[in-house]
Amino acid sequence: MIEERRALQSPAAGTQRHLTAFLFAGPAEGPSVYLQAGLHADEMPGILVLQHLLPLLERAEAAGQLRGPVRVVPVANPIGLTQWAHNKPLGRHDGDSLRNFNRYYPELAALAGDRLEARLGPDPAANAATIRAAFAEALDEMPPGTEAEELRIALLQWSSQADMVLDLHCDHWAMMHLYASPARPEVTRLLARSIGAGLALIEAVSGGNAFDEAHTVPWLQLRNRYGDRFPIPVGPFSATLEYRGQFDVDDATAAQDAAHLMTFLAAIGTLAGDVPPPSFPEPEILPLSGTVELHAPAGGVVTWALPPGSRVTAGQTLGHVTEPMTRQRHPVISPIDGILYRQELWRGCLRGQVLGDVAGKDPGRSGNLLSD
């Protein structure tokens, strides 16, 4: 294991933050894998999962079982970790710009597209290597900007050369689910069956250029630009893994989740040895554009009749908002058939606030599909 440490340029005198990665430099026979957690620095489940994964990878490396390099960034956002107010973590948005730490990543196709014009040829594998090299060049040439902008560049410099990119997050209250591109459906199913995600939300472009799509969308854009002249592969697989809810943090669960990640590494050929195969059921695969938000019909106290993961039908009452001054109970009704996959953290609400989301099969939304 090689420890990699990168200093971020200090925004103020007397302070400096660092990014740390652990590289398990296996041979290049199998796919290379990048994993990170804590990009939203108020989300602890993924950070704990990687703490349990690291010793498993150390033992696999010592036993000669790695067939491809694996890089792990256990804390992807040291900036957000320090941002607290009134004893509550605020690590989802940068305190200076108010931008979501998981949005606004450099658009690699725009940065590297022109320089590829004279470099691409008839060989798809050679084109893939050329594109990766051009992405690396473009990132190296970018001015660092603010500390948060430099953080985004640094993470992409580590991740953009990998074949598999996994970004570990969690929701407020939620079932285990994931977000992925439609470009690699076989890997999406394999990942879900390895880690126990019962739902995969799929979209080619969700808007906002989140970390996962910063790896997949550029290849799509380059195929749209050059595909009639040069064969361009679909590019890496990238997914956001939602490890249930913010309070699902315990060592037993995290240890199981880490073992399930080892199952995925073995299933894709990055890991050899006696590792259990994927054993979870096939996930429900639905379009992200088919999800609908449930809005509070009034301000008050939120109570739910069903937990995340429940299958629901159009017109079904999923919970209530109680107005404490009038004692009125307003039903929260599902507008579609689908899966109630997430609920908001707080049990108080203002009228019109989002309370939760239901995933359905029929695309009905467009534009920026991710909640900020």
The pLDDT, as a whole number, for residue 298 is 98
Whether 99 and 16 share a structural domain: yes
The pLDDT, as a whole number, for residue 136 is 98
Whether 7 and 80 share a structural domain: yes
The pLDDT, as a whole number, for residue 6 is 95
The pLDDT, as a whole number, for residue 371 is 87
Whether 180 and 196 share a structural domain: yes
Is 92 inside any structural domain? Answer: yes
Task: List, in sequence order, every residue forming a beta bridge with 33; answer none if it has no partner.
Answer: 70, 164
**How far apart, in whole angstroms, are the C-alpha atoms of residue 70 and residue 33?**
5
Range of the domain at 20: 2-282
Whether 124 and 204 share a structural domain: yes
The whole-number mean pLDDT for each consecutive block of 10 residues of the chain, a chain of 372 residues, reads 94 90 92 98 98 98 97 97 91 92 97 94 97 98 94 98 98 98 98 98 96 98 95 97 98 98 98 95 98 98 98 98 97 98 97 98 91 85
The pLDDT, as a whole number, for residue 302 is 98
Domain count, the chain: 2
Whether 334 and 270 share a structural domain: no
The pLDDT, as a whole number, for residue 12 is 85
Query: Which of 187, 172, 343, 290 has its CA nearest to residue 242?
Result: 172
Whether 80 and 209 share a structural domain: yes
Is 299 inside any structural domain? Answer: yes
Q: Would the pTM of this model clear 0.95, i.e. be above it?
A: yes
Q: Per DSSP, which regions of the chain are E strands?
A: 2-7, 18-24, 33-37, 70-73, 84-85, 88-89, 164-171, 173-174, 177-180, 199-202, 237-245, 284-287, 291-295, 300-304, 310-312, 317-323, 328-333, 338-343, 348-349, 354-359
Whether 126 and 192 share a structural domain: yes
Is 99 inside any structural domain? Answer: yes
Whether 315 and 332 share a structural domain: yes
Whether 32 and 78 share a structural domain: yes
Whether 296 and 204 share a structural domain: no
**How far apart, in whole angstroms, are the C-alpha atoms of residue 100 and residue 210?**
9
Is 370 inside any structural domain? Answer: no
Q: Which residues contact 147 (CB under 8 A, 6 or more apart)?
A: 8, 9, 10, 11, 17, 79
Is 213 inside any structural domain? Answer: yes
Contact 359, 286 (CB under 8 A): yes
